[in-house]
Structure 1
């Protein structure tokens, strides 16, 4: 990661006007070697800056400009308390996004009748306590993003979704959207509060069978067809893609009797004998018996 710094200014803004705080970034770890006692912290309106010194949170800087040398600054108070002339080398500045974020978490579950389902849950949240978030999560790179938080939330969501879906039949699954949202909201609200994050809302955005053919049958059923007709139409589509002439009969629900020649590759003479000449032979034998 290439960085360009304007003197001793510590900020998430680059020289070209862009920001390190992308829409999906929750935390940005400022390079430690750039944090000195002559640095000026500039915190943007949508951020807080958590300063960690010697493994402890020493300050949470709100939006604005913060000069370490000013007496009212909590970092200068730290230096005066320990009689430091400059900030220790192990000073870490973590910029935290305080705006609204969204993350979508996908997974798999199954119903009581063992039908596999794919689900997707959208979670909307914002950070309310930057220091608590920094203390309760771990990340090794320069960024902690929404996808990293999703790794924390996925097991909780999977447990709550499966606890409901495993007890209902497929025909009743779509009546449980509200129950799933309520259960996931209750579990995430408590967990995120421990991270210093406020849960805004939870929404189930997708809950469909894993099998695409079963999804089409359900769609046909919801259009007004009964289950039997929906299954026939689904099978008819499969037969049509295979070029099978029985697809029309499957769609209308009529038996399909193909010509025998299309099923059994028999010589033409044998077919004529079995279908036509056999009857003529029987009539000749009857005539001969009558004449005798």
Structure 2
């Protein structure tokens, strides 16, 4: 008897107390074969339920308990209008989350001096019009999640980020965090409003060169080193990892000649010495025999 009653309840709560609405789930499509005219819709406080019948949104059920056969229920009004004794088989119940969500979108761009950059933008939002979201997104499975919404937002964010980064040099990139946030916020706010989503805020969480060596050089520069010294220290680290003894010389900025004799080949019978600041060259044959 309890199992039969449980089968008539349309809800995102499982029998063991867990929920089908995970933190990253925006929409859950309830199996339509379990929806009947005797079903009891139970909508949780963090959800709305959008009921679609024959391809049209017929009701948006707020949190609470909804009996289809109740005279005040919009679904019963639908059935009486068309003189249906029961809900058509083509009835879909879509549970939509109304809590605050976050999605992080990553991409690549480049500066005016052709330096590749990796960026990450965090977008915070909540759904305010569930029926509008259901109408404007497509998904094949039972769930529509944050990551799928990110695929809608990624081209817009990439366009706004690149429109700013492509016009600045690398040295000025980190002065543009505010401009990037403003540009992305303006574009996303208009787009998400068309989906029934309220944009809460946008934050640029990462903007770094793609090359790890260049990232380290910039970090050393920001610590107070001159650019030339920062480059030397970066190269010295690479040489150290390779086990090259020239790493110390690279770090302090002095030449390193490991095998000077192989670089400078002097004639065996030619002597070079300094006397009074003047260089004198003599052949060994011209020296006295007693020398």
- TM-score, with length taken from structure 2: 0.91
When you count strand as a share of all residues, which structure comes out higher?
Answer: 2
Q: By percentage of residues, which structure has more helix?
A: 1
Cα deviation for residue 278 of structure 1 reads 5.6
How many positions carry a matched residue from both structures?
A: 277
1:237 is matched with: 237
Superposed CA offset, 1:58-88 (max 9, x none): 0000000000010000000000000000000
- 1:99 corresponds to which residue? 99
Is the contact between residue 240 and residue 247 of structure 1 (CA under 8 Å) also seen in structure 2? yes
Q: Which residue does the alignment assign to 2:34?
A: 34
Whether the 8 Å CA contact 1:5–1:15 is kept in 2: the answer is no
* Cα offset, 1:257, TM superposition: 1.6
Determine whether 1:25 maps to 2:25.
yes
- The residue that corresponds to 2:126 in the other structure is 126
| Worse-matched range after superposition: 190-199 or 235-244 | 235-244
Pair 1:159 & 2:159 matched? yes
Equivalent residue number for residue 77 of structure 2: 77
User: Separation in 1 of the partners of 2:284 and 2:192?
Assistant: 95
The equivalent of 1:219 in structure 2 is: 219
Preserved contact between residue 111 and residue 167 of structure 2 (Cα < 8 Å): yes
SS at match of 2:178: helix
1:139-170 alpha-carbon deviations (Å, 9 max, x no partner): 11000000000000000000000000000000
Whether the 8 Å contact between 1:40 and 1:66 is mirrored in structure 2 is: yes
CA–CA distance in 2 between the matches of 1:287 and 1:224? 59
| Counterparts of 1:283 and 1:195, CA distance in 2 | 94
Gaps of 5+ in 2: 273-281
Counterpart residue number, 2:116: 116
Aligned to 1:65: 65
User: Structure 1 segments of 4 or more deviating over 4 A?
Assistant: 274-280
Query: TM-score, length-normalised on structure 1?
Result: 0.91
Which whole-Å CA distance do the structure 1 matches of 2:208 and 2:161 have between them? Answer: 13
